[in-house]
């Protein structure tokens, strides 16, 4: 019979976390980090270890939304089992419901969203009480939920039936804004005797665990944009610039090469009736790893004094794509339209049925904060190039700002003026992100 290999916790957990691994006296553990700080890996190892070594204590892992569990924390818990080198046949692992049960003790890791109070109440296990609650991406509970009140209700739900040893682990990357509600909550929690806050970044992790490529990627951002490096990689609340794309500069302005052929182009479209309607086009250059600006269409009914109908805007888009096709031999256009512009989308579908190139119409993903962060990243890594032909886009890059009062309140909201090109470019970048995100690593 083959003996199971013994794994030292110190071989799979960074030194900063070792002091809390077996410490049951701390009730609230806040783990923050920049990218690759290993807080999620630690939480997974701790949760798996809990159900293996405590025959009377189960675990619940929470995210704000159900639909984000399987690809994130559920996968991380399975990786934790591998890191502990425990054979998976010792567990009952199910996807519906998402649960991981250690067969020997009947202790379980439950996974749940927190969209409503009933989501968590049904998890209470009378025989194997919840000893550990892991709150992943805790920022979501403040952005989309009730924040501190919701976390307190979660604690009250699961602490029942525990005489001692109950713990909660909160995981998140600090928002840029020091005034963000979760940053303020953390400062408040730090004053409690039953709470510890540990912050890590990639420099706390052995290089061999991360790989040199990741270190090189961090150092590349450090050179290109020290402030963004401090936020992304060091996890510091660096503050929010009123100018959203402060990193946009001459290096991001570049003419497309003459005679250059692009198989695929991405167009972001922002639609307005009196406000401007614009199409911003980018070519995917997989050889140079660039998202190259090719041109723009821009019409403002208010400024021109002439309104245009959705069918006219659809016809203009076809003319715009015809010119790009002729100039760059583009075979496929992905068009990401303002999700509220259903009428325009239908007119575009009608107008693009019989063309010599393919046109694929998509609703744009309209997560503003996520989209802005991705455009910023594409600019910092010199992936996003804006053509001199995109005159209105260049103008807006220089004036697109957050509302100062929203920054003071901890929730950054862009000023909704002169933002049509910025919305369109955000749609295009979001639409192409799965193709270009690897160039930022």
For residue 301, the model assigns a pLDDT of 76
pLDDT-above-70 percentage for the chain: 96
Torsion angle defined by CA atoms of residues 417, 422, 424 and 429, in that order, rounded to the nearest 10 degrees: -150
Q: Which residue has the tokens 């086009």?
A: 281
CATH of domain 11-210: 3.40.50.300
Q: Express each pLDDT in 114-133 by its tens digit.
A: 875 455 555 666 678 899 99
Give the pLDDT score at 121: 59
Percent of the chain with pLDDT over 90: 81
Q: Which residue has the tokens 């804004």?
A: 177
Mean pLDDT score, 83-96: 95
Q: What CATH number belongs to 250-440?
A: 3.30.420.280
Average pLDDT over residues 358-377: 95
Q: What pLDDT score does 1 carry?
A: 43
Whole-prediction pTM value? Answer: 0.81
Q: Which strands sit side by side in the sheet containing 195-200, from one edge to the other?
A: 91-95, 98-102, 107-113, 58-63, 130-135, 167-172, 28-33, 195-200
Encode pLDDT of 390-415 as tens digits.
999 999 999 999 999 999 999 899 99
- Three-state SS at 118: helix
Residue ranges of domains in the chain: 11-210, 250-440
pLDDT of residue 258: 84
Please provide the average confidence, as pLDDT, over all residues in the chain.
Answer: 92
- The pLDDT value recorded for residue 316 is 97
Residue 222: exposure state from Cβ atoms within 10 A (0-12, 13-18, ≥19):
middle
- Paired tokens of 286: 């997989």
Q: Where are the beta strands (DSSP E) in 310-369?
A: 332-337, 358-363
Question: What's the rounded Cα separation, in Å, for the pair 240 and 228?
Answer: 10
């Amino acid at each position: 019979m083959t003996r199971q290999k013994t794994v030292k916790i110190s071989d799979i957990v960074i030194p900063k976390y070792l002091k809390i691994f077996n410490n049951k006296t701390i009730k609230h553990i806040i783990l923050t980090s920049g990218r690759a700080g290993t807080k999620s890996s630690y939480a997974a190892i701790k949760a798996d270890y809990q159900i293996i070594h405590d025959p009377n204590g189960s675990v619940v892992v929470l995210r704000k939304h159900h639909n984000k569990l399987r690809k994130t924390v559920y996968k991380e818990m399975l990786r934790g089992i591998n890191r502990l080198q425990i054979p998976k046949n010792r567990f009952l692992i199910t996807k519906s419901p998402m649960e991981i049960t250690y067969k020997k003790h009947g202790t379980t890791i439950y996974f749940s969203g927190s969209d409503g109070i009933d989501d968590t109440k049904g998890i209470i296990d009378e025989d194997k009480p919840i000893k550990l609650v892991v709150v992943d991406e805790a920022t979501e509970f403040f952005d989309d939920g009730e924040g501190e009140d919701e976390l307190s209700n979660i604690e009250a739900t699961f602490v029942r039936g525990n005489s001692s040893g109950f713990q909660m682990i909160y995981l998140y990357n600090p928002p840029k804004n020091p005034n963000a509600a979760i940053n303020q909550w953390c400062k408040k929690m730090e004053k409690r005797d039953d709470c510890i806050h540990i912050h890590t970044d990639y420099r706390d992790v052995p290089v061999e665990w991360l790989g040199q490529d990741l270190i090189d990627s961090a150092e590349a951002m450090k050179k290109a944009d020290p402030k963004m490096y401090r936020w992304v990689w060091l996890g510091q609340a660096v503050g929010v610039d009123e100018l959203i794309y402060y990193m946009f500069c001459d290096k991001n302005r570049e003419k497309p090469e003459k005679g250059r052929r692009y198989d695929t182009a991405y167009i972001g479209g922002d639609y307005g009736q009196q406000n401007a309607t614009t199409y911003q086009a980018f070519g995917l250059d997989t050889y140079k790893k660039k998202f190259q600006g090719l041109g723009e269409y821009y019409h403002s009914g208010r400024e021109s004094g002439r309104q245009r109908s959705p069918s006219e805007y659809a016809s203009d888009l076809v003319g715009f794509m015809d010119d790009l096709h002729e100039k760059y031999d583009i075979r496929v256009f992905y068009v990401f339209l303002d999700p509220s512009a259903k009428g325009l989308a239908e007119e575009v579908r009608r107008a693009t049925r019989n063309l010599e190139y393919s046109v694929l119409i998509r609703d744009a993903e309209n997560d503003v904060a996520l989209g802005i962060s991705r455009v910023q990243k594409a600019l910092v890594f010199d992936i996003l190039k804006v053509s001199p032909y995109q005159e209105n886009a260049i103008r807006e890059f220089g004036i697109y700002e957050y509302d100062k009062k929203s920054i003071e309140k901890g929730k950054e909201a862009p000023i909704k003026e002169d933002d049509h090109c910025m919305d369109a470019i955000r749609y295009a970048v979001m639409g192409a992100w799965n193709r270009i995100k690897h160039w930022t690593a």
